[in-house]
């Protein structure tokens, strides 16, 4: 009976299924790990450089600099641009805290602008009004798997000579006008947190740039500002990606393109199955964009009732970013009040992410939709 139950729709359903992927390549991952154990170069070993070359080739960017986390990627990017106390950096309030946290860590000021109601990404129409003489960078976020409107953002940024850092922690693998995420601005950053479309088995991240001087500076920052051993011309951090994580990512990367395709197919199926349910807004992918669906996120008129009903049938769901950053205690000094960014607040109050992975079975997907109906 127990063996039968585990194959029933909804039984032991995972919000993000990492095990099925691991089952496919477990032997190869273990071989890679053994190779690291054999050569013993646990910090900046050859697998790190091998991964950087492959990721740079995949995105079409000249330089890839791996690092210890997606947060470190954003922090290092700001440090490389010499962001200083009193500077302003424009971003959005509907995102994970790292995007604004790194700005505050450098004693700069996060300046929030609202998001678009369909893609939940930065609204370029609100960007120019937020720019001042103190604006030193702009950080759009590719939320839930698709890039922001980087074309319009870049045009406005170029007009004011402001660098753009793409936060591609969730959108790595997506495209905008045919170009890959993290190849859409001066600097692109991503995360390899385990739940990301390309994730390792710990923390990890990467930075991409076409600029030689910035790449050299980022490599210095990654190793305590060190240019040659024991010489530190600038202040940096301990931001290196572990060799073991690089080895794991190399094997997981062999499946990445296939898994991105599977994610899109599963999202398309969700869109069809959910089309006739009132009170549900399915994800909108902008024209000229593709999405890797890091999460499949809907808006619902009654999130509490829907999530409770799913839970009663052992179906997991997650409400992300239910308190936008401008209403978080960490940013009370900015003086924002409820209503300052109404679209972010509306999305935060109604968003719900459904199970999504390249290995979500059709019968499980059908069970999710049946429970919602």
User: Which residues form the catalytic set?
Assistant: 196
43 within 8 A of 163, measured Cβ to Cβ? no
At residue 57's C-alpha, the angle toward residues 52 and 63, to 5°, is: 55
CA 254 to chain centre: 19
Biggest CA-to-CA distance, the chain:
68
Q: Name the CA dihedral angle for 187, 341, 15, 27, rounded to a multiple of 10 degrees.
A: 10
Rounded CA separation 250/268 (Å): 28
Backbone dihedral angles phi then psi of residue 363, each to the nearest 5 degrees: -70, -35
SS3 of residue 4 by DSSP = helix
Output the DSSP codes for 317-363.
-B---SS-GGGSGGGGGG---TTSSHHHHHHHHHEEEEP--TT--HH
């Amino acid at each position: 009976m127990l063996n039968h139950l585990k194959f029933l729709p909804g039984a032991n359903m995972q919000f993000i299924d990492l095990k099925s992927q691991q089952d496919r390549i477990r032997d190869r991952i273990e071989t890679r790990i053994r190779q690291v154990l054999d050569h013993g170069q646990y910090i900046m070993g050859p697998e790190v450089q091998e991964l950087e070359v492959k990721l740079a080739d995949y995105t079409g960017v000249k330089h890839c600099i791996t690092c210890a986390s997606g947060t470190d990627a954003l922090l290092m990017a700001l440090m490389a641009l010499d962001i200083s106390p009193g500077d302003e950096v424009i971003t959005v309030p509907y995102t994970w805290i790292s995007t604004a946290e790194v700005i505050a860590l450098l004693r700069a000021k996060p300046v929030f602008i609202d998001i678009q109601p369909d893609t939940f990404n930065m609204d370029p129409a609100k960007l120019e009004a937020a720019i001042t003489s103190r604006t030193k960078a702009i950080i759009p976020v590719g939320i839930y798997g698709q890039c922001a409107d980087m074309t319009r953002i870049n045009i406005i940024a170029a007009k004011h000579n402001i660098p753009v850092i793409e936060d591609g922690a969730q959108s790595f693998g997506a495209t905008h006008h045919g170009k890959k995420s993290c190849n859409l601005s001066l600097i692109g950053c991503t995360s390899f947190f385990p739940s990301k479309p390309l994730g390792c088995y710990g923390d990890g991240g990467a930075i991409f740039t076409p600029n030689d001087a910035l790449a050299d500076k980022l490599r210095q920052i990654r190793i305590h500002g060190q240019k040659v051993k024991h010489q530190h011309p600038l202040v940096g951090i301990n931001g290196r990606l572990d060799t073991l994580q690089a080895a794991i990512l190399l094997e997981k990367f062999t499946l990445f393109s296939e898994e991105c395709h599977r994610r899109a197919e599963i999202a398309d199926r969700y869109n069809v199955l959910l089309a006739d349910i009132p009170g549900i807004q399915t994800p909108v992918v902008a024209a000229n964009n593709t999405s890797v669906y890091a999460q499949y996120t809907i808006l619902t008129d009654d999130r509490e009732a829907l999530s409770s009903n799913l839970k009663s049938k052992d179906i997991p769901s997650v409400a992300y970013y239910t308190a936008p950053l401008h209403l978080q205690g960490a940013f009370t000094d900015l003086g924002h009040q409820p209503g300052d960014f109404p679209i972010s607040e509306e999305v935060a109050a109604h968003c719900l992410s459904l199970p999504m992975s390249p290995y979500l079975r059709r019968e499980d997907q059908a069970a999710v939709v049946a429970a919602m109906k």
